[in-house]
Structure 1
Amino acid sequence: MDGCHMCIDALKEDVLAKLSQMLDNSTCGWRQLATAAAKHPRFQCSEKEMTACSLHVLNAAGSPARCFLAHLADRRCPLDFLSRCLTEIDHREAAQLISTTMAELIRITAQPQSQHSRPGSRVLLTCGASGPPGLTYQWFKGNEEILDQTGGSPQLVLFPLSPAHQGHYICRVSYGERYVFSQWAHVGLVCSAGSSPGCSSSLFPGSVSGLQVVLQPQSQVVSEGAKLRLECQAKANPPAQVQWYHNNKPLPQKKTPVLEIPCVTTEHRGEYSCKVYNLYHEVWTDAAAVNIEPSSVPGASWVEVEEDFDSEDDSRSHPPQQTSEESSSAKNFYATDKVALLIGNMNYLHHTPLCAPICDVHELTNLLRQMDFKVVSLLDLSWQEMQNAVAEFLMLLDKGVYGLLYFAGHGYENYGNSFMVPIDAPASYTSDHCLCVQSILSRMQEKQTGLNVFLLDMCRQRNFNDDVIVHPGPLRVTANIVFGYATCVDAEAYEVKREDTSNGIFISFLKQRVCENEKVTVMLDRVGEDMGRCAITRGRQALELRSNLSERRSLTDPIQTSDGSASQSARNHQWAVAHDLPKSQCLHFDCGVQVQLGFAAEFSNVMVIYTRILVKPEEVVSCSAQLTDFAEDVDVDLKKSNQDCLIEAGSLGLIEEELPSPDVPSLYTRICNLQRLKKELTFTVCLHYTYSNMDEEIQERLPVLVGKPLVSKLNLHERRPTRSFSTNISLDSLGFSECSSFAFAEGPALSGSMSNASSFPKETSRADSPAKLRSDNVPEETDCPEFFHTTELLVSSKSLPHTQVNETSYRFSDMCNFHSL
């Protein structure tokens, strides 16, 4: 039985009871459903049958809707048809119930595993799934679908393995319109350091940071029962992380420079190599061959030795090594899932517009996805849209889930409570016009989350328009809360401009450490110390950390959940709904021209549409396909639409080389504010062309309907009966540890630009005085490169030109503050 013939009688009793309860009403209930279903002759009910259903209301436990559903079940009504009918009568709650139930019938039973192998080898990625017969499989590398002969099967074959195959892969299993996604799997090349192109990758070409392996693991012969010790060391800035591999397979949790096996057996023979990487570079060590001589010794256990990569003083003492049992228990933290909501508000209606959130949100999105977070990234939200976005975010939470909320925009803090300002807040806004962070936290605690992280990149000055002090009661003590404030109490947060793009100071430093396998508070402490060495913000902005986290929980902790759990399936479905792009289309015009219509997501509410000429008859000498007639709900800058490159179209987050067939000329149009789309997105493709024997230009127009893409399906613009997030809850009741506000000293330089940042587009900061970058690779505990050398005051009205990012001398223009209340 395939998905299209899955019938109502497949529903469980509790689902039928809930659905019947939803449909037992007169305004949008079973009678309206019967009218919609009657369009198909097979499901028409006679007047006598309708009357019989109505009479069930006379019984104490009777349900007319349940009786009508029984009639549909007797006629073998498919669930897909029922779902369409519920959508037609606009009963969204019932339609969502059926959609969730159908999605739960597909379960991933075998996840594709990350693999690292040598060039020319054969890599097999397998995705196993259970569910109705007729499941279909689609493989994606990043956001690009794989269309070869193995891309539509449960097994994806990559052969012969080449640098082009490196990247992240995911499988979508579906039937009809329902689908679930597998986990991401990473495929990489195992090569000796610097052995061949493509084996070591630089995410930031031209970056001043470097990475060099200074000690290779050595081949050796070890007697069975003896101790094996392998070591690699590297110099890097930012500090490097490591991952050990045995016979090209990663060793779980083996991420320290020294790897020891105190009692080896024959199963430990083979080749060992180590991947050394930071945010900018990735290098592989040489493979070390380990042979095991025969002996009679029982099995062995793993022991990790914590050592510092960047220390040049090998004589300093190390703490006593942990036993394998102690080490395992100390690092056995995991999340049942990871979800993040990132909001960047820039274009305020009644306040100073901001520049940095678009770059900051995009960069943090990419970094969190590397750590397996389900990320929803949204720009420019109104009060209602922020309320609903947070409500949708809370739906993704469950027991043991790691939840992260990042906000960049205007904000303030009154009496220990932090408030995020939406773009439609009036000039003299109060807490009634804003969202209270502590109120959101209380809702998160109801979900019994495993870790709650709030990163607030906003001002914390007092709002004198708001004199209300509300104390609804203390929050529960959970010992899992972390607040990272971009600035101190009663202070402003800053962004630094570079041409038409900007960066926030906080994210500029956070991006260098957020992926470190450290306790969240330790990682943020290091970010604060880095910011403290930044001369340009000394005395103006310092990171503040508030936390009651009692366990060594890290953003890099693995995800462990029961296979096919209902909550996991529901989260996957809910997240996928907000990230579903329209399928690529091929439009055929009467003149013989064929136009490809493609779609790419820049954010969860920002989409880029591109048009390409696929086929052009010989008699057509020139042609271009342009988009027009967009719905009024969405935001399209007509001056930047139908541009030859993404930058000119206003897109700073997408890279043309990552789109399918980047060498084919395209026209790009950027669609913003998809969260305000009330109906399905429609537009017109207008083809302009001329014939070889004619001077006059001819036009052909084709209307296009692409449904509701990305986050528009969630209808965030609608009013919903939900709890307000403007209720104040004092942080004093949380039992936080003492706040840490860091002093400033000179620190490491920022590097990277939109042109060389690969998949992490980010610009360098700007200030009023010249700065000199130092590219020496010196360990951080002994010395740090200087960020900015300046003793001059910042001049807000002055604007100076900047130089190229790879030059050693910079000139920065004025440093603009985020928020002035």
Structure 2
Amino acid sequence: MAGSLAAAPLPINRLAEPLLRKLSDSLDRAAPGKGWRDLAQLAGSQGGVRLSSLELEQCSLQVLEPEGSPSRSLLQLMGERGCTVQELTELLQTLEHSEAFQCLSPPSIKIVVEPESQAVLSGQMVKLSCWAAGYPLLHYQWFKGGKMVPHGNSPELVLNQVNADDAGFYICRVNSDSSYEFSRWAQLDVCDIQGACHGSCLEVPEKKIHICIHPQSQNLIVGEILVLQCGAIGIPMPQYQWYRNGSPLTNGDKKVYMVSCVDTEHQGTYWCRVYNDQDNQESKKVKVIIGGKSIAVECTEEDLSGLGRPELKEQSTERQFAVDKVALLMGNMSYCHHPKLKAPLVDVYDLTNLLRQLDFKVVSLLDLTEPEMRNAVDEFLLLLDKGVYGLLYYAGHGYENYGNSFMVPIDAPNPYRATNCLCVQNILKLMQEKDTGLNVFLLDMCRKRNEYDNTVLILDALKVTANIVFGYATCQGAEAFEIQQSGLANGIFMKFLKERLLEDKKITVLLDGVAEDMGKCHLTKGKQALEIRSSLSEKRALTDPIQQTVTSVESLARNLQWAKAHELPESMCLQFKCGVQIQLGFAAEFSNVMIVYTRIVKKPEEIAVCKAYVTDFPLDLDVDPKEANKGTPEETGSYLLSKDLPKHCLYTRISSLQKLKEDLTFMVCLHYEYEGVDDVVDERKVVNIGKPLIAKLRIHQGYRKSRCFQSCCGPTGPCFTQSPGAGAAGYCPCHHSHQPHSYAGIPQPSPASSASVLQPAKCHCSMIPNSLIAWQSKWPYPSDSNRSNIPVETTDELESDFSGSLRLSQQ
């Protein structure tokens, strides 16, 4: 309640019962001269509300009732006489009964110390302060964006050893029993520069600015990208202004100044002025030199002599060979904080079988966390060598910013940034360092812009090796779709790719055919189209044979590494004391998903009923007891191996084998009854099958290699962020809708304070059964009052079937 009840022209008996009870209790306990009788006398002499002696006596008799109150009876009589809250307030003020007066006219809360925006270094201690004046008792609660800060219930919010995750907008709510006020928003910018200041800027004097990251001189050619960065810490929050040759630059008021395509006019001396209302500093002045593109190639007359001959224009028909072929397939479906997907299950399975027909060594993995994805990629890189064909396929959530593609792990927060994801271009660079014969990236994910992530990656140029092929399932800025077939989901891209993958054609020609097929699909016309990027000048195909003249050490290492990821336990026969024999078998659905099947192969005649099942699997693994020991593989969630598994067994599906820390140990239980005996007898055996499949590579461990597949926010790293610590907290799509400018009553940052804060544009590729869906994001800028803060899922209904085989129901 803000403001005063006294201003409301309403009779006393219209007040809320809790307030009347509190007011009556205050009058009943009042000191002489300020009690209910004094109020009645004053009301008769000044307020025109006269009460008889009999009425006053009736009020006094209320003390004889168990919960009676003379003051409550008096207030009821005064209300029936037409006494208003305004008149009662004036009477209480005349009586100088401050406690009762405060019940009707709570004091306003005044924020006397507002929190200040500040920029600090990672690892520092930060203190945000909010002090208020008011009565009777003030309570404080801090919020980061729209999310309550745990233990943030004091005037000072202390954050020890802050990191990039602590960056954002903070606000404090101060409330008493019946009113509240919010402080202004304070932005916290955390610079993670990994020791660039050598510790000297950890003790910056208060109200001073210290520039920790200075721009670097650059020598560019026309058409390249210019990116200059300046990073500073200070209180209040530093502001930035870039200059070239002494003149301020338009749109040069951010930490990062960028020109996407430079020309000679951008050459000059650059620096940045960093300032707040207490201090002013200038960065180092740096030179930016822009040279023209060289289009000349040095050669001799002999080199030119044969270029025009028709016989030399004909391409060689000599067959290309691969030293080896390896592939890593990753499909993410079971996201923790984002919509779950279906198609990666089938797409990864189909592609695995096709690539194995082409002699690829395939590692196929489902549902990986960020460290698991990074470690899986690192293991994949170990399989690459000179002349090897490397193929990486990813299906799941993803996005594309500034020409760089990012794959989203299943544990990525909502919203996610580059630091939570894997950058495809960085992985490609590491693949090229292996001098591979062919690098193929197939990305079956959305490529919409992630507005919440403003990270700019500065990557070293890829080698000019003419061996790169990108197959994007959709165009830049567009979504990718799934489509259901017989209870299973296929991605549109994989639906057409698997029909051509075995063709003996140059990989770019093969993908062109897939693009043409997709273009004819009326279901996704105008919604999804394959995009191919290639620097391939040789006629290389996925069908190229493997040719090795000598078995190298590298080849032996690749084969060993591949074998480790595909080693299944041997089938075993368990002999129980009662004479029952149980066969225990194993099948791989993916490199991290295994099916265990059991069946009774021998039973003595004296045993009437006999049943065996497996149980007690390690908690690390994903085994649902309700879906274990089923009569069909489909009941366990395995729809892909039915035709390859033996019949008349009990099946159990074990997922997430990459999380296995120790040997896989479980229990085999046998229940049986002898003929003519009602008692059930139990026997148990513990089985240890070691580390099956991908578990041997131990990719569950924290990221342990020296590789870096995403941005490193430091002066020597490949990226920097234009607006670290952008404002709103991770809104979950399952939240209910709120008012456009508030989240749970919390005011949103004003346009001035949140100009660099962008809400997350979600990237969804999800398929609801029997319908083709494009998930539309509705994340607004904070200042957009005509749009909701909560994303809305919309369905694109496509009224058609798909060549008679893929049925889409109409809703």
TM-score, normalised via structure 1 length: 0.50
Report if the CA contact (8 A) 2:484-2:806 is conserved: no
Q: Which residue of 1 aligns with 2:642?
A: 655
Question: Does the aligned pair in 2 maintain the 1:498–1:765 contact within 8 Å?
Answer: no
Q: Cα gap change, 1:814/1:678 in structure 2, threshold over 3 Å: closer, same or farther?
A: farther
* SS of match in other structure, 2:457: coil
Cα displacement (A) at 1:691 = 1.3
Amino acid at match of 1:678: K
Kept in 1: contact 2:572–2:583 (CA 8 A): yes
Q: 1:722: how far off?
A: 2.1
- State how far apart, in whole Å, the 2-side matches of 1:409 and 1:811 are: 23
**Residue 666 of structure 2 is aligned with which of 668, 683, 706?**
683
Check if 1:695 corresponds to 2:691: no
Give unpaired runs (5+ residues) of structure 1: 1-321, 731-762, 770-793, 816-821
- Aligned residue in 2 for 1:598: 585
Match of 1:711 in 2: 694
CA–CA distance in 2 between the matches of 1:809 and 1:498? 7
- The answer for the alignment partner of 1:92 in structure 2 is none
Distance 2:670 2:810 in 1: 45
Deviation at 1:765, TM superposition (A): 9.9
State how 1:227-246 maps to structure 2 within 5 Å.
Answer: none
Report the residue type matching 1:669 in the other structure. Answer: T
> How far 1:432 moved relative to its partner?
0.3
* Residue of 512, 535, 544 corresponding to 1:557: 544
Aligned match of 1:520? 507
Distance in 2 (CA, whole Å) between partners of 1:499 and 1:531 is: 21
Distance across 2 between alignment mates of 1:550 and 1:504: 29
Q: 1:509 aligns with which of 479, 483, 496?
A: 496
Q: Which amino acid aligns with 2:459?
A: P
2:709 is aligned, of 722, 725, 732, to: 725
SS of the equivalent of 1:678 reads coil
1:397-796 superposed matches below 5 A: 397-498=384-485, 500-656=487-643, 658-659=644-645, 662-663=646-647, 665-719=648-702, 720-727=704-711, 767=771, 796=795
Conserved? CA contact 1:513–1:527, under 8 Å: yes
3-state SS of 2:328 partner: strand
Residue 116 of structure 2 is matched in structure 1 by none
Residue type of the partner of 2:401? N
Alignment deviations for residues 429-468 of structure 1 (CA, whole Å, 9 cap, x no partner): 1100000000001100110000000000000000111111
Change (3 A) 1:814 1:393: farther
Alpha-carbon separation, structure 1, partners of 2:545 and 2:538: 15
Cα distance in structure 1, aligned partners of 2:614 and 2:692: 17
Q: CA deviation at 1:475?
A: 1.3
Aligned to 1:390, the other structure's residue is in SS state helix
Residues 503 and 765 of structure 1 are in contact (CA less than 8 Å); yes or no, is this contact kept in structure 2? no
Find the aligned partners of 1:768 and 1:364 in 2 and give their Cα distance: 22
Q: Structure 2 vs 1, CA of residues 797 and 487 (structure 1 numbering), >3 Å: closer, same or farther?
A: closer
Distance 1:810 1:567, change over 3 A: closer
Stretches of structure 2 lacking an aligned partner (at least 5 in a row): 1-309, 719-766, 774-792
Cα shift at 1:727: 3.7
2: CA distance between counterparts of 1:799 and 1:710? 41
1:331 matched to which residue of 2?
318
Alpha-carbon distance, 1:506 to partner: 0.2
Quote the Cα distance in structure 2 between the aligned partners of 1:621 and 1:401. 59
Task: Give CA deviations for 1:254-281 in whole Å, capped at 9, x if unaligned.
Answer: xxxxxxxxxxxxxxxxxxxxxxxxxxxx
CA distance in 2 between counterparts of 1:530 and 1:795 reads 27
**CA deviation after TM superposition for structure 1 residue 695, in Å:** 2.0
1:696 maps to a residue whose letter is D
Corresponding residue of 2:346 = 359
The one-letter code of the counterpart of 2:541 is S
When residues 764 and 471 of structure 1 are mapped into structure 2, their CA distance, relative to the original with a 3 A threshold, is closer
Report SS of the residue matched to 2:469: strand
- 1:618-648 Cα distance to aligned partner (Å, 9 max, x none): 0111212101111001110111100111111
Aligned residue in 2 for 1:20 = none
Paired residue type of 1:616: K
Letter in 2 for 1:722: S
What's the offset of the Cα at 1:721?
3.3
Tell me, yes or no, if the aligned pair for 1:439 and 1:727 is still in contact at 8 Å.
Answer: no
Q: What's the counterpart of residue 240 of structure 2?
A: none
3-state SS, counterpart of residue 499 of structure 2: coil
CA pair 768-574 structure 1, distance change in 2 beyond 3 A: closer
Contact 2:482 2:772 in 1 (8 A): no
Q: 1:494–1:472: structure 2 CA closer, same or farther, 3 Å change rule?
A: same
Aligned residue for 1:722, secondary structure, equals: coil
Q: Aligned runs of 1:50-449 on 2, under 5 Å?
A: 329-449=316-436
CA 1:340–1:327 in 2, change beyond 3 Å: closer, same or farther? farther
Distance 1:396 1:561 in 2: 15
Between the aligned partners of 2:434 and 2:805, the Cα distance in structure 1 is 50
Which piece of structure 1 moves more, 614-623 or 550-559?
614-623
Contact 1:418 1:438 in 2 (8 A): yes
Cα gap change, 1:808 to 1:518, in 2 (>3 Å): closer
Amino acid at match of 1:674: L
The 2-side partners of 1:683 and 1:346 are apart by 27
Distance in 1, matches of 2:634 and 2:338, equals 26
* Shift, 1:650, TM fit: 1.1
Q: Is the 8 A contact 1:768 1:814 kept in 2?
A: no
TM-score by length of 2: 0.51
Q: 1:469 & 1:439 partners in 2: Cα distance?
A: 13
Per the TM alignment, residue 500 of structure 1 is displaced from its structure 2 partner at its CA by 4.2
Deviation by residue 1:392-430 (Cα, 9 ceiling, x = unmatched): 000000000000000000000000000000000000111
Measure, in 1, the Cα distance between the counterparts of 2:404 and 2:687: 47
2:525 corresponds to which letter in structure 1? R
Answer yes or no: is 1:813 the counterpart of 2:809.
Answer: yes
Task: State the alpha-carbon separation in 1 of the partners of residues 806 and 408 from structure 2.
Answer: 34
What is the number of equivalent residue pairs in this alignment? Answer: 431
Deviation at 1:707, TM superposition (A): 0.5
Percentage of pairs with the same residue = 57
CA distance in 2, matches of 1:717, 1:520: 34
CA contact (8 A) 1:627 1:683 kept: yes
SS in structure 1 of the partner of residue 598 of structure 2:
strand
Q: Is the 8 A contact 1:625 1:688 kept in 2?
A: yes
Distance 1:385 1:795, change over 3 A: closer
Conserved 8 A contact 1:459-1:493: yes
8 Å CA contact retained: 1:795, 1:814: no
Q: CA deviation at 1:653?
A: 2.1
In the other structure, the counterpart of 1:311 is none
Which whole-Å CA distance do the structure 2 matches of 1:364 and 1:586 have between them?
A: 34
1:71-127 per-residue CA deviation (whole Å, 9 max, x = no partner) reads: xxxxxxxxxxxxxxxxxxxxxxxxxxxxxxxxxxxxxxxxxxxxxxxxxxxxxxxxx
Match in the other structure for 1:264: none
RMSD between aligned residues: 3.0
